[in-house]
Chains A and B, each alone.
Chain A
Amino acid sequence: MPIAEHLKPSLIELLLAAADDKLMLGHRNSDWTGLGPILEEDIAFSSLAQDEIAHAQTLYEFLSPIAAKDENELAFGRTAEEYRCATIVEPHDEFDWAAAITRQFFCDHFDRLRFRRLAQSNHKPLADLAKRIGAEEQVHVDHADSWMRRLGRGTTEAKERAQKALDQLAPLTATLFEPVDGEPALEKDGIYPALEQPMIELWRREVDAVLKDAGLSAAFTDVDPTKKGGRRGIHSKAFSELLDEMCEVYRIEPGAKW
């Protein structure tokens, strides 16, 4: 089904949120290249970075004709207020392994559900793409789950540090679930159809089951309201710093061909 003209602005918001989450997370993952605690995880985080950034790039390409903007301009040519990523993908993990794994764990489970929803879209090109991304997310989820278990069942220090990361990051997960403008219309129209149960309930059940198995827990208290608003373009200081670093080359000569 072609996308109705009046729904296009909301669809752009929705897919920018997905792509921006992945672009930022991928960039944060790439910080670990060369610094992973073991060789396998150096490869894993570099590979995760490649996956996330490739997914973001493909989503920007998909949006390009709808938004009438070049994909590079979408990725790097916007002002901070025009990004739609959730606050949880913004802060640096300060090379705390438990924090990196915990954020990945929360975001991977969210993305698997988000792309399961998009895979049921009545807009076939979007559903086809989402099915493929969703299948790749499964590998990410398995990786994150096995690490939560490893940390939770590991040494006292590993468990304490994992629990500390969970305590810090759990409230921020609320920012993943903030809706973009026009999301109810996309849901009603079948472009972003609802799942069998509210997404947040499915997500909590999934992550709680893994955490229980790992001997860990998360308290999903609501986040400080000043940290909300990523989906509407309100971002943290860490985000502006990351954006400046990421766009440094692009801004020297926007539109340059390589």
Chain B
Amino acid sequence: MPYTAKIKVTLRRSILDVQGKAVEHALKNLGYGTVESVRIGKYIEVTINEEEQLQAERIANEISQKLLSNPVMENYSLELELVK
């Protein structure tokens, strides 16, 4: 029974997000004066074919820590959904 892990990877607050800054400036130039800040991250969907939800969750966490994010400068969060 496949599960989809929806994983968000974001830069830690202490890391300067130059991409976010560039988009923030562009939005301000477009006249959106109330835009205060922009942070850009990554969204990753991984389909995992496991019977047990707990096992799928364990794998999703493991790959997030091992490859999908770099804990020195990034955080991740994930949601698991049963594929119907």
A binds B: no
Task: Point out residues on A near B: beta carbons under 8 Å.
Answer: none
Task: Point out residues on B near A: beta carbons under 8 Å.
Answer: none
